[in-house]
A and B are shown apart, each in its own frame.
Chain A
Amino acid sequence: MCLGIPAKILEVNVDGSALVDYMGVRWRVGTSLVEHVAPGDYVMVHAGEAIERVDLATGKEVLRMWEDILKAWT
């Protein structure tokens, strides 16, 4: 039930809602729980609301870190 969908913001409306896309499916979500979103940003969507931003740079950094961990642990 806590399912979150990592969706891309396509446009942000004046009323604060945003049009998002995930694998070609588009729908409107609320953005009042997240700060400054702009087209191109990724957000986690849950029950019709963006609940948090997805920080792509950190996501990549974690993967890089695990390359080193895997070398050390295997």
Chain B
Amino acid sequence: MAPAPHRILRVKRETHDTFTLTLEVPEEAGGEFAPGQFSMLYVFGVGELPISISGDPGVPGQLVYTVRAVGKATGSLVKLRAGDWVGVRGPFGSAWPVEAARGKDVLIVAGGIGLAPLRSVIYHVLNNRDAYGRLTILYGARSPKDLLYRVDFRSWSRQMDTHALTTVDHGDLRWRGRVGVVTTLFRYVRLVPERTIAMLCGPEIMMRYVCAEIEKNHQLPASQIHLTMERNMKCAAGFCGHCQFGPYFICKDGPVFSYERMKPLLGIYEL
């Protein structure tokens, strides 16, 4: 229930508003997590907020989070420096179906900060390269200055049997890459529906378009598509009620769900 103090080892600036914090895990805390899980990070006196673990599950002793400063708590979180302390509760929630995906092709579709919770699954697939088939990563950001993990991305795209594509909604003068929403990247990929597991994270509206695209145009059954949901969270333990989405508590039933379970609810206005 009470957060455990963790020391910040490094803060890396990813973009103008997004930073990656690496925390040292105290011995007694363990630090194990499954890709897709999140923690509640406590900033002294400011608040506690849900942040996905974006680090490499194969590297023990540290917890990595990528935070986009959008308000009060995230704003003060990214102002912290190496040596500062944050409180950590967790990890909480469901994980990406990395076991079910064994032996299959993996399709990753991310929008904006949504790449953060998916990065840990990308690490997992690359750490266990032989256990998985083709890895496809489709990533859309608002503009070139919002692109996360540029170094990682270049290295992913050079891996064997890996296809990593980026697009931006709006380019700038120097941008030579693709322009358009993330669904436009689907014209470059061919999926084998029987052996593909898709994992999606991004704004809800984007995920709905992507789900429709891969279900209709690529014949992927809804049960093979997984996505993460985001709702207000105060406790992460099923007590505060804030994260409810129809019958589900996003904090303990999710945040990762199959599209099969989310589909009947996603279209309901203001649910």
* A and B associate in one complex: no
